[in-house]
Amino acid sequence: MSTGLCARDTSMDPPLRLSQPPQDIETEDGRIRNQEASAKIRDAWIYKQIRTRQEEFTQYKEARILCGTWNVNAKKADIEGVQLSLEHWLGHGVQCDIVAVGFQEIVDLNAVNVAVDNKSLKTSQYWIERIRGTLGADFMMVAERHLVGLLVCVFVKRVHMQRVKYVHVDSVGVGVMGIAGNKGGVSVRLQFYDSTLCIICSHLAAHRENVVGRNADYANILNKTRFDIGLEAVQEVIRSGSLHQWATGTSSVGVLDHDHVFWIGDLNYRIDESIKTEDCLYRAVKGDLQPLIVMDQLNIERARGRVFQGFEEGNITFKPTYKYQPYTDDYETRPEKKLRAPAWCDRILWSSQNPSHMKQLDYSCCSSLKISDHKPVMSTFVAVIKDIVQAKRDAIHQEIIMVIDKYENQSMPIVRLDKLMLDFGEVRYDSKLTLPITITNTGQVLAQFRFVPKLEEVEICKPWIKVSPAYGMLIPGEVTTLEISITLDNATARALNAGEGILNDILVLRLENGRDFYITINGTYARSCFGMSLDELVMYSVPVRTVPLDPAKRLELGIGNSPASLCIPKELWRIVDAIYGRGLQERDLFSVPGLEKEVREIRECLDTGAPFGPFNIHSMTETLVSFLAGLSTPVIPPTLFPTLEVDNTNIIAWSRKLLEELPPISYNVFIYMMSFFREVLLYKDANRVTAAKLARICCECMVLGFSFKTSNEETKNSITRRAGMQIIMDNFITTDSI
């Protein structure tokens, strides 16, 4: 069993990329043609047909793959001349077809090594030779890549070497300044028979609290890793069905353009800070692992869709692999050393285009290797590998071409749409609505269609509309369904609340070598307090759903004529009061995500004035944070960021300055929220909330543009100002008076 959340999605068509400007040609009879679009859509359809018949020209075989990862903490596997055996870790690799091994910290990650990297090569060769000695003469190393402390190497059994080709490596540094090699990823890709494999070994950002940093490192490595394998290799991968037809003409591939991807290494995800270090240590030693697994940061971040989407991981049944006292099986608890919470830093994940083509046999750690403060981890897989019979594929390709030729030689395309107007009715904030349109090819020839921008526009629709598919081809008699979806995000809601837009658009569906169809989209915005401004919210004592968007109608009804009838928005008071009344002692308050269905229902209650049901407290807190973050005007504008470094000598002055310069309504809301968070902190033993956590929440939802992610271009001064704002929030929450 694995803990994979979802398989990698390969079902969606990539965007239809055409030359700019598009080469649309108007014929004498007024029809519009684009030969480039027509050719690409035709090729994509042929590719789809071949892929649906892949079983007819593909043979399958199983390959056993061993993956291993170890942070060796700059140690070598020998003590006083006596070499330690890697047998217990990698020894069963002799029964496999492929062995992929990753190391981290093969050298000290000091400033000299990071800058010069003159020791990695020698140390890499040391570990490679140790692996060779373990696997024996039946294996050959096909590739290795090192970067400061990182090393990845891939061995293949000699009997398979004639079917290994297009081997390439890459490395991405994401350490100091976002480029240094003290943190990063090294990778190998290869074609094994007619399946493609990619192995990435990475070492992500350290420190228990730095989840955002690790997420960012993962994204950078994933997006920046590219293999320039050449046009011929790309074309072969396309023919095998592993890469989309649109890749024709390119010479490079990314990580997810492979049949099977293995991501190994010291990912550095820890146990969530809500579990105390001592509690982590106690449970790890006792073997009470499930409570720790539930609060494992990587599991949490994957569940929230922030990292490793489409990847799977096996069930963890071994103790945390970090941090051990070297040369022992004991976690590091010596008084002269910093006490760290045990964690599963060292992980092995995988992703396959066809999930049924990968089976994990085991997932464990090796406790016999004790030189490092990490334990090695290993996992064995059985992968289904493709072996294409090219003659059969060519015959099928020719059959499909003959079918197309038969229809292309007949008359013009004709299609029927079952409707040309879609009325979505009431559309609510952050809710997705989808309506279908059925399109039928009623003619005798192929019908190629695509949505195109209106005259003098660039996009095919407004940003709150999504169309799927945006293009396609139908053979005579074929029917397909177009799905038109509407989703109102913060930006759209703000514009609608400000009277700057309406839910109306016209989509142009173009039939290649045929006519255009005009599809009208209509909807009515169900007004929401989300995306409104504080100044407007305090004007209404009635539910915002009853407040017309048209200022003239509001004036006619006498709604909102006074500048401000409330001190704070009633919606804010309602949700804070609900949390205050029964949620202050809720465990992991502001840490656990709410239930999506309940969050929508709570928003509806706030918008309509309906009473709250017995909602989950975590759903209430998530709604509170999203309400504040979604305000069109933030509680604290960026102009109030501190301009100097904040410390004990000036924090009171900065705090007073902030209060003095806040607009009146923002001042009320800020004071109200600070008072609430102080109450939350009184129950910290029960809810496990810290002042730093609350300060972070304040910054995330009440300060415009505040983010804990820092870009490479960000100046030291702006980082200092962000840090200063969090210190000020912490001071407001923990001080006795304002």
Q: Are residues 354 and 420 in the same domain?
A: no
Question: Residue 31 falls within a domain, yes or no?
Answer: no
Q: Which pLDDT value is given to residue 327?
A: 92
Closest CA to 606 of 653, 670, 514, 540: 540
Q: Tell me if residue 448 falls in helix, strand or coil.
A: strand
Higher pLDDT pick, 188 / 29:
188
Among 213-217, 230-234, 398-402, 498-502, top mean pLDDT goes to 213-217
Q: Are residues 442 and 320 in the same domain?
A: no
Indicate the range of 108-112, 411-415, 583-587 predicted with least confidence: 108-112
Q: Are 259 and 357 in contact (CB under 8 A)?
A: yes
pLDDT greater than 80 at residue 721: no
Closest CA to 208 of 317, 289, 296: 296
Question: Residue 23 falls within a domain, yes or no?
Answer: no
What's the pLDDT tens digit per position in 145-160? 999 899 999 999 999 9
Domain extent at residue 371? 49-388
Q: Are 183 and 158 in contact (CB under 8 A)?
A: no
Q: Are residues 571 and 449 in the same domain?
A: no
Indicate the range of 92-106, 170-184, 684-698 predicted with least confidence: 170-184
Q: Are residues 335 and 226 in the same domain?
A: yes
What's the pLDDT tens digit per position in 590-646? 999 999 899 999 999 999 999 999 999 999 999 999 999 888 888 988 777 776 677
Q: Are residues 376 and 419 in the same domain?
A: no
pTM score above 0.85: no
Indicate the range of 55-69, 105-119, 208-222, 618-632 predicted with least confidence: 105-119
Q: Which pLDDT value is given to residue 236?
A: 83
| Measured CA angle at 258 (ends 256, 260), to 5 deg | 100
Indicate the range of 46-60, 108-122, 284-298, 507-521 predicted with least confidence: 108-122
- pLDDT above 70 covers what percent of the chain? 87
What's the pLDDT tens digit per position in 352-369? 999 999 999 999 999 999
Question: Residue 681 falls within a domain, yes or no?
Answer: yes
Domain boundary among 472, 504, 525: 525
CATH number of the domain within which 93 lies = 3.60.10.10
Question: Residue 95 falls within a domain, yes or no?
Answer: yes
pLDDT greater than 70 at residue 481: yes
Question: Residue 366 falls within a domain, yes or no?
Answer: yes
Among 264-278, 545-559, 616-630, top mean pLDDT goes to 264-278
Joined tokens for residue 217:
């490192």
Q: Are residues 149 and 283 in the same domain?
A: yes
CATH number of the domain within which 446 lies = 2.60.40.10
Q: Are 151 and 144 in contact (CB under 8 A)?
A: yes
CATH number of the domain within which 609 lies = 1.10.555.10
Q: Are residues 368 and 503 in the same domain?
A: no
Q: Which pLDDT value is given to residue 501?
A: 74
Q: Tell me if residue 576 falls in helix, strand or coil.
A: helix
Domain boundary among 464, 498, 525: 525
pLDDT band at 708; cut points 50, 70, 90:
very low
Q: Are residues 166 and 211 in the same domain?
A: yes
pLDDT greater than 60 at residue 713: no
**Distance, CA of 10 to CA of 245 (rounded, Å):** 13
pLDDT greater than 80 at residue 254: yes
Question: Residue 32 falls within a domain, yes or no?
Answer: no
Q: Are residues 159 and 290 in the same domain?
A: yes
Question: Residue 536 falls within a domain, yes or no?
Answer: no
Q: Are residues 138 and 257 in the same domain?
A: yes
Q: Which pLDDT value is given to residue 5?
A: 46
Question: Residue 361 falls within a domain, yes or no?
Answer: yes
What's the pLDDT tens digit per position in 308-331? 999 999 999 999 999 999 999 999
Q: Tell me if residue 433 falls in helix, strand or coil.
A: strand
Q: Are residues 476 and 614 in the same domain?
A: no
Q: Which pLDDT value is given to residue 342?
A: 97
pLDDT band at 1; cut points 50, 70, 90:
very low
What's the pLDDT tens digit per position in 110-127? 644 554 456 778 899 999
- Cα separation values, 421 from 425, 484, 485, 521, Å: 12, 11, 13, 6
In total, how many domains does the chain have?
3
Q: Are 656 and 626 in contact (CB under 8 A)?
A: no
pLDDT band at 104; cut points 50, 70, 90:
very high
Work out the average pLDDT over 546-570.
71
Higher pLDDT pick, 94 / 490:
94
pLDDT band at 33; cut points 50, 70, 90:
confident
Domain boundary among 469, 501, 525: 525
Work out the average pLDDT over 356-383.
96
pLDDT band at 35; cut points 50, 70, 90:
confident
Backbone dihedral angles phi then psi of residue 68, each to the nearest 5 degrees: -140, 150
Q: Are residues 472 and 575 in the same domain?
A: no
The rounded mean pLDDT for the chain is 87
Q: Which pLDDT value is given to residue 723?
A: 76
pLDDT greater than 60 at residue 9: no
pLDDT band at 562; cut points 50, 70, 90:
low
